[in-house]
Structure 1
Amino acid sequence: MDWYLEPLEKYAVFTGRARRKEYWTFVLCNTLLAFVLAFIDGLMGTYNAEIGIGVLGSIFALAVLIPSFAVGVRRLHDSGKSGFLMLIVFVPVIGAIALLILMVLDSEPGENKHGPNPKA
């Protein structure tokens, strides 16, 4: 649970480094919560099929937007990359694949310009 709460505690911290475990746990929990909220939206009748999201899902997406971006930037910092590479996702198809590969890369050993290795 700590791996999910840590990015929320560092709500808008775009400096430092985040381990793969922290990033992927946050992504997994957000995905699971989004599915649960979509199911609840469907039961309550607040799901809009045209848009593809319901009221609860929209509120949740807005609530985790900044923490998701922040932990993504810190994850890129951990592998020694610039946080601006998050913007590569806007390149159709190839951008999402490239960002996925960057998020899977291992940490840069030791200290880098973004701070000490969080594994230590």
Structure 2
Amino acid sequence: MTQESDGRDDPQSPQGQDQPGAFQQPHPQQPYYGQQPSYGEQPYGQQPYPGQPYGGQPYGGQPPYAGQPYGQPGYPAGYGWPGGRPEGTTDPDDLTLPLYNATMGQAVQRFFRNYVNFSGRASKREYWWVALFNLIVYIVMGVLAGLIAVAAGTSDEVPPAIIVVLALVGLYGLAVLLPQLALGVRRLHDANQSGLWLLFLLVPTIGSITWLVVGLLSPNPLGVQYDRR
């Protein structure tokens, strides 16, 4: 006895075909070969990385590979120094190289130890700390001389104490003259400049600003040619 088919398994039967209006499961459309996927979709056959959207950039906009954008190299060593970081020392007792992180006490000590040393280099910190120290010395001596003058009253004679103070000021100025010139030459060497530029001190019009210009020059790694060997 032949069992009658109801037509549901027959693909030619109207009941086996998709009927208009019937619920149909949508099929995800894959992009054609060579077609770019839309934003937020993974390329065909590629598995997404956990927690990483399409395009390879993590959330928050942080670039990959050690924080550097694609195609942009990291900053080289010595970035921010003209020509690279100049050679220096971290030992205050090493007088053959400049001390770029010198404190005021270290700079003054190196200043007097390099008394008449016109070779080598000196950092900007060494230069300006010594300038500040000399300024303080002159101010203290000037204040002391003024106090002595006030204590002497209106006497027509100059108090001997003021003469002593003025003599000390003159002696100190002579004592630091040569080391100050030597420091200026070493500062020029640190900028890879010849110490002969200090001859501008003899020019009345621009000699007064020569010390300022010398202290503002930037270090140059090529100044190592002036180091003592």
5+ long unaligned stretches in structure 2: 1-104, 149-158
Q: Name 2:108's counterpart in structure 1.
A: 4
Normalised TM-score (structure 1)? 0.81
**Partner of residue 93, structure 2:** none
Distance in 2 between the 1:57 and 1:97 partners?
Answer: 22
- 1:93 CA drift (Å): 2.5
What percent identity do the matched residue pairs reach? 34
For residues 186 and 223 of structure 2, the distance between their equivalents in structure 1, rounded to whole angstroms, comes to: 14
Long gaps (5+) in structure 1: 48-52
CA separation in 1, counterparts of 2:193 and 2:208? 16
> In the comparison of the two structures, how many residue pairs are matched?
112
- 1:24 and 2:136 are equivalent in the alignment: no
Match of 1:112? 224
Q: Distance in 2 between matches of 1:99 and 1:6?
A: 19
Q: Root-mean-square deviation (CA), in Å?
A: 2.2
| Bigger radius of gyration | 2
Structure with more relative contact order (C-alpha pairs < 8 Å, separation 6 or more): 1
Equivalent in 164, 176, 182 of residue 70 of structure 1: 182
Describe the shift of the 1:98–1:26 C-alpha distance in structure 2 as closer, same or farther (beyond 3 A).
closer
User: Structure 2 CA distance, aligned partners of 1:111 and 1:76?
Assistant: 9
Letter aligned with residue 26 of structure 1? V
Paired residues of 1:41 and 1:56 also in contact (CA < 8 A)? no
| Aligned partners of 1:19 and 1:107 also within 8 Å | yes
For 1:114 and 1:96, the matched residues in 2 are separated by 26
2-structure distance, mates of 1:98, 1:114 = 21
Aligned partner of 1:30: which letter? N
**What is the deviation of 1:112?**
3.0
Task: After TM superposition, list the pairs within 5 Å mapping 1:67-106 onto structure 2.
Answer: 67-106=179-218
Q: Name the one with the larger helix percent.
A: 1
2:126 is matched by which residue type in structure 1?
E
Q: Residues 74, 99 of structure 1: CA spacing in aligned structure 2 closer, same or farther, 3 A cutoff?
A: same
